[in-house]
Every structure is written in structure tokens, then in C-alpha cells.
Amino acid sequence: MHGLVNRSIQRFIVDSYGAEIWGEICREADLGFDNFEAMLTYDSALTNAVLAAGCRRLKRKRANLLEDMGTYMVSHPDLVPLRRLLRFGGDTFVEFLHSLDDLHDRAALALPDLDFPQLELREHALNSYSLIYRWRQHGFGTLVLGVMRAMADDYGVLALLGHSSTLGEFGDVDTISISLVDTQFAEGRGFELGAAE
């Protein structure tokens, strides 16, 4: 698993529960270290061990923990870059949804060694979509659900999101259903193309 994912788990747990608990989780998972490097790649077994230890220590279900982490990754002020890169997808939430089809390729352009889920948007009726998510890494679908919740918020859109998961031949195939209730529900956060210095 790419270090970015592991590093995000680390930051999420440290920011939400404290460095001490993160240290305990690392020992519990028998990592032998307590700091993931974002630019290195780790065995996926380590990632799953940390998540398992985290769920035990925090008494939380993996799916819920990952969903919170997805939300954290987009909404936490320290993690502006990810949010910005997602906002490049479009000026409106609907444009953003359509840009998700390209996200896998975009991510590969920026980080060729990043193993990234395949996303595919299907439009059913006006304001009703499903996002099909495929990844050979098992059990990360709700992370994307959390990201989508936070992005809807970011655009100031009121949306109802649902999630279901199936195991396909080549890994997880999840469906995130999205129905837009109000596209101008709130102000949303601004986005300038040019990054602040």
C-alpha cells in the first residue's frame, strides 16, 4: 500500500485521538516503527494490521473508521492539497462527479506508483447517480464514501449518500449512491485555481 494511504491513517488517528494512542496502536500492530513515510510503499498487510489494531483500540468498526478518515482527509485544514486536487475536477459538484471517471488516470499522472481505485460514475436520472468503485485492496470503500460526503459539503451541496459493497473477481466492487437534494444548499468553500503561495 502506498505510503500516502498509510500516512493519512497515521495523521487521522494522531489528529483525532492523539499521538499516544497512535503509538499504542503501532505497538499493538507490531509495526516496529510509528511513522509512515508518505513517499515509500509498504506491504498492505501492515496497513491492514494497523487498521485492525486501530479498530480494537478505538472500539470502532473498520468501515466507520475509514469513512471518518475520508471526511477528515478532505476537510482538515492541514490537508489542503488533497482537497484542492479534487476541486480541480470542476466548478460544480456535478462537474466534480463527472471528473471522478478520470481520477484514476489523473492520480497516476501525479504519482505513477500510486495504486488507486477505479471510479466510474453512472447517471440514472436528474440528480441521481451511482459511483462504482473497484479496488483490489479489500475493505476501503467507505473511505471514498467519507471523501464524497466531505466534497458535497465543500461544494455546499445537500446530497444523500448510500453505500453497498460486493466482492468481485478482482477485488471489491462497491456502489456509492448519490442523490442531490439541493445543489445550492450552503455557501461551500471557495476554490481559487491559483494556489496561494
Binding site for another protein (CB under 8 A): 37-40, 81, 84-85, 88, 90-91, 106, 109-111, 191-197
End-to-end Cα separation, the chain, in angstroms: 31
Least Å distance between CB 37 and another protein? 5
Neighbours of 55 (CB within 10 A): 17
Query: Which set of grid coordinates corresponds to residue 18?
Result: 492523539
Least Å distance between CB 194 and another protein? 3
Query: Which set of grid coordinates corresponds to residue 71?
Result: 471526511
Nearer to another protein, 40 or 186 (CB): 40
Nearer to another protein, 80 or 181 (CB): 80
Least Å distance between CB 139 and another protein? 25
The CA distance from 75 to 153, in Å, is 9
Nearer to another protein, 2 or 163 (CB): 2
Nearer to another protein, 32 or 194 (CB): 194
Contact 164, 132 (CB under 8 A): no
The CA distance from 105 to 170, in Å, is 19
Least Å distance between CB 181 and another protein? 25
Nearer to another protein, 4 or 143 (CB): 4
Least Å distance between CB 197 and another protein? 7
The CA distance from 57 to 55, in Å, is 6
Query: Which set of grid coordinates corresponds to residue 151?
Result: 466534497
